[in-house]
Structure 1
Amino acid sequence: MTPEQAATAFDWDVDRPHLLPVTVTAEHLDRFGHTNNVMYLHWLEQVAWSHSVSLGLDFEAYERLGAGCVARRHELDYLAPTFANDRLWLATWVHENDFRLSMWRRYQIVREADGKTVLRGATQWVCVDMKSGRPRRMPPEFRAYAPWPVRSR
């Protein structure tokens, strides 16, 4: 399945999430035989970076602007286990952005085989100065992170 097919095949929480596929492998499993919870956080970081890069905000852009975003808070709801060989679709979108210091990015992970949502999550990101690490006002280029309208579930 392609990202274009996945965009319409599943019941996403928003109309146009940014999508990235991943396949669970043996290295992702914990001793219970299902995907280790730490892997989900790793994947959420991957899809967040993929989305940021697609908006023209890669790490080099952060350096050029002198500002970047760091995680302040994560909220993860594990809804169903996943196992080796499961193909998952990672989805993300910016839910809120105050265009000053912080934004909330939301996530949804869907298992391709049955269309089941296996995780929902959110991260609060804070804009920081790249040299000092202190919070700073977002540069105008971060307007690319304007949130999309969210459908009610």
Structure 2
Amino acid sequence: MQSFEIHITVTQDDLDNLNHVNNVRYVQWVQDVAEQHWHAKATKSMLSDYFWILLKHTIEYKNPAVLGDVLKLKTYIKESGGLTCIRMVEIYNESTDKLLASSETKWCLVSQEYMKPTRITEEIRTLFS
């Protein structure tokens, strides 16, 4: 399993009325890190031939993040086969290494040409293993 990481500093715009990161922001970050991982690993041909759609999303909130916290978002593919893959995202406070949230998402590969779900190729599968 290859993981991919990005780092985010919590800003005022990320906060809710309780002065911690809004749950909706975590969901956006889960999508953002997945997209960045795909773009970092995929070839130009893959990017022009395929895209991913989200089928299912679950997230578990464990600890809050607040203004100024630096967060580490770590993602990896837990399993893939057929048309879909399961992606994990873990969000940590970088300075304490405390897990703040974890997410499991199910994605479906779609052909740009036919605009229909398509089987995950071995080439794509090996990008993330």
TM over 0.5: yes
Residue of structure 1 equivalent to 2:125 = 143
Residue of structure 1 equivalent to 2:17 = 31
Instruction: Tell me which of 51, 54, 58 is aligned to 1:75.
Output: 58
Distance 1:24 1:83, change over 3 A: same
Q: Percent identity over the alignment?
A: 26
Query: Where is the strand percentage greater, Structure 1 or Structure 2?
Result: 2
Residue of structure 2 equivalent to 1:129 = 111
- Once residues 15 and 56 of structure 2 are traced to their aligned partners in structure 1, the CA distance between those partners, rounded to angstroms, is 25
Paired letter, 1:108:
E
Secondary structure of the residue that 2:5 maps to in structure 1? strand
Question: TM (normalized to structure 2)?
Answer: 0.88
Distance 1:136 1:56, change over 3 A: closer
Instruction: Tell me which of 67, 77, 97 is aligned to 1:94.
Output: 77
**Offset at residue 122 of structure 1 (A):** 0.9
The answer on whether the counterparts of 1:55 and 1:144 sit within 8 Å (CA) in structure 2 is no
Secondary structure of the residue that 1:71 maps to in structure 2? strand
Secondary structure of the residue that 2:36 maps to in structure 1? helix
Say which is worse superposed, 127-136 or 71-80, in terms of deviation: 127-136
Distance 1:25 1:146, change over 3 A: closer
- Once residues 3 and 62 of structure 2 are traced to their aligned partners in structure 1, the CA distance between those partners, rounded to angstroms, is 19
- Once residues 17 and 140 of structure 1 are traced to their aligned partners in structure 2, the CA distance between those partners, rounded to angstroms, is 18
Secondary structure of the residue that 1:138 maps to in structure 2? coil
Distance 1:68 1:38, change over 3 A: same
Question: TM (normalized to structure 1)?
Answer: 0.76
Q: Structure 1: which 5+ runs fail to align?
A: 1-13, 148-153
- Once residues 127 and 54 of structure 2 are traced to their aligned partners in structure 1, the CA distance between those partners, rounded to angstroms, is 15
Q: Structure 2: which 5+ runs fail to align?
A: none
